[in-house]
């Protein structure tokens, strides 16, 4: 049985489809990463509509903003104006579909099941999904399926017409609600499953790191990986910090590549910086090389990474916290969600939802 990610990859590569309509209960940055990794270029050629919810503050604002950003792509929220005003974004009527509807002049395809737009939902979780496809129907059965998929399109269009666009005041209100949401995620969030080996995180802390928008860390002294006398560029982090960067918390052998991260520093994007589970049992992230155009160095600096939407994907804005007041504010925001943490060697780090 293949994953939803595999079915999506196959559909995205098919020129018969020109539009994609998606209805899911919630959207996360890990889901955006998995979707873009499937085939981002093919995704961008389609007209896209994303229908989701604010229910229980499970959707991550930066993920919704990324979907809402490119041309030919827009996001609406079921009952958004009402739900965002409720404590913890509790819905009056939960929005719970999970479907991807591809369409073209002569082809219709539905991928539907139990997974939301998250990494676990479309790539790793134990899900049960159905794929229905029909092209240029000729037989009675094909015609009936074509008509049923057409009825589903009518349903989506109706839901879309009554949903609230994710922009301006509604977006700002949800970002504020998300920032003060309870630190314990809703139990129906399929991304909160703990790692096989949490490595110093509690399951709740690991879930909080995953949903966080900001991550800061005292770099200490980086290994001189670029040679003697040259500032280092490899940041060592507690194992499973990877979840902040949209990577699964699955246990893997040491020296396993975990993917890549796009980092923006001082207006320049450094794509595909390598992330790895290193030989020493820590997560290791390659940083932009120090020197002209880049940071002068990282030793003894406090690094701050913030998730931001960029051309339909998530990138990580890198800055430095230098003033004592900046560092104190970072720690205070992390402590409020039980994510002001320290490594055995004494380096402090933390996460926060805003």
pLDDT surpasses 90 at 354: no
pLDDT surpasses 90 at 284: yes
Tell me which of 72-76, 126-130, 341-345 is least confident.
Answer: 126-130
pLDDT confidence band for 197 (50 / 70 / 90): low
pLDDT value for 127: 63
Write out the H or E segment, with its range, that includes residue 290. none
Q: Which residue has the higher pLDDT, 192 or 287?
A: 287
The CATH number given to 4-179 is 3.30.870.10
Domain boundaries, the chain: 4-179, 203-352
Q: Residue 352 in contact with residue 333, Cβ under 8 Å?
A: yes
pLDDT value for 185: 55
Q: What is the mean pLDDT of residues 101-126?
A: 81
Domains 4-179 and 203-352 share a fold: no
User: Residue 279: which of 250, 254, 252, 253 has the closest Cα?
Assistant: 254
**In whole angstroms, how large is the CA radius of gyration of the chain?**
21
pLDDT value for 238: 96
pLDDT value for 183: 63
Q: Which residue has the tokens 């009056």?
A: 92
Q: What is the mean pLDDT of residues 27-36?
A: 87
pTM of the model: 0.88
pLDDT tens digits, one per residue of 294-313: 898 999 999 999 999 999 99
Instruction: Please state, in angstroms and rounded to a whole number, the distance separating the CA atoms of residues 54 and 88.
Output: 9
pLDDT value for 292: 83
> 203-352: what CATH class?
mainly beta
pLDDT value for 231: 86
């Amino acid at each position: 049985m293949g994953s939803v990610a595999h079915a999506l990859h196959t559909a995205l590569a098919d020129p018969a489809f020109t539009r994609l309509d998606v209805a899911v209960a919630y959207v996360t940055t890990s889901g955006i990463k998995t979707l873009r990794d499937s085939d981002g270029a093919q995704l961008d050629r389609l007209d896209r509509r994303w229908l989701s919810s604010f229910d229980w503050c499970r959707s991550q604002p930066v993920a919704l903003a990324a979907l809402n950003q490119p041309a030919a792509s827009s996001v609406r929220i079921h009952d958004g104006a009402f739900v965002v005003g409720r404590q913890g974004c509790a819905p009056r009527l939960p929005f719970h579909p999970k479907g991807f509807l591809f369409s073209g002049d002569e082809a219709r395809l539905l991928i539907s099941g139990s997974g939301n737009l998250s990494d676990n939902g479309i790539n790793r979780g134990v899900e049960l999904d159905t794929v229905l496809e029909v092209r240029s129907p000729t037989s009675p059965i094909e015609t009936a399926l074509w008509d049923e998929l057409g009825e589903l399109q009518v349903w989506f269009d109706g839901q879309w017409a009554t949903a609230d666009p994710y922009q301006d005041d509604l977006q700002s209100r949800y970002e504020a609600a998300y920032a003060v949401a309870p630190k314990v995620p809703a139990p129906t969030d399929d991304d909160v499953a703990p790692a096989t080996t949490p490595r110093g995180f509690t399951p709740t802390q690991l879930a909080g790191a995953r949903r966080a928008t900001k991550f800061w860390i005292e770099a200490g002294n980086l290994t001189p990986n670029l040679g003697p006398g040259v500032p280092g560029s490899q940041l060592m982090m507690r194992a499973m910090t990877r979840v902040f960067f949209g990577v699964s918390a699955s246990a893997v052998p040491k020296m396993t590549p975990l993917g890549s991260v796009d980092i923006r520093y001082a207006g320049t994007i450094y794509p595909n910086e390598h992330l790895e589970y290193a030989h020493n049992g820590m997560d290791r992230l390659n940083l932009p090389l120090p020197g002209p155009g880049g940071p002068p160095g990282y030793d003894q600096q406090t690094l701050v990474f913030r998730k931001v939407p960029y051309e339909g994907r998530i990138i990580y804005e890198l800055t430095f916290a230098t003033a004592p007041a900046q560092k104190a504010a970072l720690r205070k925001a992390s402590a409020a969600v039980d994510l002001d943490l320290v490594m055995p060697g004494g380096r402090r780090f933390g996460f926060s939802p805003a």
